[in-house]
Amino acid sequence: MNELNSNSTSRRDFIKQTGTLAAASAFVGMAVPYVHGAENSTLQVALVGCGGRGTDAAGNALSVKGGGTKLVAMADVFPEKLPAKQAALSKQFGEKVDVPTDRRFSGFDAYKKAMDCLNKGDIVILTTPPAFRWVHFTYAIEKGLNVFMEKPVTVDGPGSRRMLKLAEAAKAKNLKVGVGLNSRHARALQQLAERVHDGAIGDIILERGYRMHGPAAFFNSLPKPGGITDLMYQIQRFHSFIWASGGNYNDFYIHIIDHLSWMKNAWPVKAQALGGKHYKHDPNGIQFVDQNFDTYSVEYTYADGTKFFFDGRCMTGCNDNFSSYIHGTKGSAIVSKSGDCGAPSSIYKGQTPTGSDRIWVSEVPKGEENWYQNEWNDLMDAIRNDKPYNEVERGVQVSTVSSMGRMAAHTGQEITYEEMLNCEHEMAPGLDKITEDSPAPVLPDKNGRYPVPQPGQTKKREY
């Protein structure tokens, strides 16, 4: 894949360059530290993207320790979402939700209107499909807003490079930015990481991660029904389309990829992978038309040669396994017992996690069991007390590592981190100018099927 970009830049060089570029940008021309909310003042919140994850994040914002937050604006490309989500949040949080009809916005420019309701130093939640993250983050920086954005933060090389520049611009304005990689805020995993980094299991020699279960969220999609355009159908069912979400690989698997890389204290430098589609039809025999593979098996390699094996599967009736493990020269550990970051984490003196060999188990402090709430408490602490806080670079790095594994499976090639970062295939260019009348980034054939990866045949891009 070296031919992907003959002028490829290393991650370290690129970050240095983006700092220089950011310093010359219009953003940084305005770079003065903003005064964040005083300890007892109320910070206004706008929600951009009113799906389930977005409304849950808004709930976390309104539940933060010490209070002092109020939801004042909501935006979504689909207007029908707004009344129900506003009503649900109002029922739960009462006066902390102040979003009348004239502060509920829909359409592709709704994000601007919602952010325009805020003052500098307030907070915007970005929980739309990740393809739009750079567009919305750009405007948030222009407005001087603190940000919480969901993962993944990028889906392709051009988006990753763009987001790295924006991360530097946000730092220059002293904006606080949280990214929804909640494993890093799970207290059990924090305790384990500290011990592993201190040598509790010796040198890491192998990592294993699994997320195998039945189809979830918008993993599968049937042919587009009438009454909706291809563009809106793809945004509505974003997990089914690589351009919108990175597919199920990026959205479903990123937490395990992130926390195992954290345990290793490094990012994988290359990946080779297998993957495929199988019986892609519903119980009535109608063919699914999405772009996802049903199975992925990826071998990640770190710079020192250590291997990290990840297996993902979305198929009904198979053995389910949703967990992660690390093996070292002096022992082993269960990182997540169940789920993205399920406690307890534990350490064993041998390579088999049996009760008799267990030498440590995590103990989560009371009140800190919810990692979704923890990440908001940590972000708000940084805003209130003006602490350095910008998780975007790490968000870009793990999004790139996720895309690297996905692209290795989809092309049948070994893909390096640098090749993924510097890949020139922008899957959905021009999203900052998109309207309801814009063509969809991918179009179906006469049978309603969308382009799918063809390993070994399409090598320099994924479809």
- CATH number of residue 121's parent domain: 3.40.50.720
Considering the domain architecture, whether residues 82 and 20 belong to the same structural domain is answered as: yes
> Residue 3's pLDDT band (boundaries 50, 70, 90)?
very low
Q: How many CA atoms lie within 13 A of 109 on its CB side?
A: 4
Considering the domain architecture, whether residues 382 and 344 belong to the same structural domain is answered as: no
Considering the domain architecture, whether residues 71 and 165 belong to the same structural domain is answered as: yes
Considering the domain architecture, whether residues 41 and 176 belong to the same structural domain is answered as: yes
Domain count, the chain: 2
Write the DSSP string, 152-214: P--SSHHHHHHHHHHHHHHHHTT--EEES-GGGG-HHHHHHHHHHHTTTT-SEEEEEEEEEES
CA–chain centroid gap for 201, Å, is 29
Residue 449 placed within a domain: no
Residue 458 placed within a domain: no
Q: How many CA atoms lie within 13 A of 169 on its CB side?
A: 26
Considering the domain architecture, whether residues 121 and 202 belong to the same structural domain is answered as: no
Mean pLDDT of 223-246: 97
Provide, rounded to the nearest whole percent, the portion of the chain with pLDDT above 90: 87
At 229, list the tokens: 């355009």
Top-confidence residue, 281 or 155: 155
pLDDT digits (tens, 9 = 90+) for 6-22: 334 444 444 444 443 44
Q: Using the 8-state DSSP alphabet, how is residue 15 labeled?
A: H
Q: What's the pTM value of the predicted model, to 2 decimals?
A: 0.91
Considering the domain architecture, whether residues 209 and 114 belong to the same structural domain is answered as: no
For the chain, the average pLDDT equals 92
Residue 429 placed within a domain: no
Residue 386 placed within a domain: yes
Considering the domain architecture, whether residues 237 and 133 belong to the same structural domain is answered as: no
307 class by beta-carbon count within 10 Å (0-12 exposed, 13-18 middle, 19+ buried) = middle
CATH code where residue 335 lies: 3.30.360.10
Top-confidence residue, 34 or 294: 294
Residue 216 placed within a domain: yes
At 385, list the tokens: 């007390």
Cis peptide bond upstream of 344, omega within 30: yes
In this model, does residue 279 exceed pLDDT 50? yes
pLDDT digits (tens, 9 = 90+) for 118-149: 999 999 999 999 999 999 999 999 999 999 99
Closest CA to 140 of 130, 148, 151: 148
CA–chain centroid gap for 178, Å, is 11
Q: What contacts 271, CB < 8 A, 6 or more positions away?
A: 298, 299, 300, 301, 401, 404, 405, 408, 414, 415
pLDDT value, residue 5:
39
Considering the domain architecture, whether residues 75 and 191 belong to the same structural domain is answered as: no
Q: Using the 8-state DSSP alphabet, how is residue 295 labeled?
A: E
Please measure the distance between the N-terminal and C-terminal CA atoms of the chain and give it in whole angstroms: 15
Considering the domain architecture, whether residues 107 and 200 belong to the same structural domain is answered as: no
Considering the domain architecture, whether residues 160 and 219 belong to the same structural domain is answered as: no
In this model, does residue 95 exceed pLDDT 90? yes
pLDDT digits (tens, 9 = 90+) for 424-444: 999 999 999 999 999 999 999
Considering the domain architecture, whether residues 164 and 257 belong to the same structural domain is answered as: no
The domain of 22 spans: 2-183+372-391
- Helix axes 247-264 and 392-411, enclosed angle (nearest 10): 120
Considering the domain architecture, whether residues 151 and 214 belong to the same structural domain is answered as: no
Instruction: Tell me how far apart the 2 most distant CA atoms of the chain are, in Å.
Output: 63
Residue 126 placed within a domain: yes
**CA–CA–CA angle 289, 210, 326 (5° rounding):** 155
Mean pLDDT of 51-75: 95
Residue 452 placed within a domain: no
pLDDT value, residue 355:
87
Residue 359 placed within a domain: yes
In this model, does residue 86 exceed pLDDT 70? yes
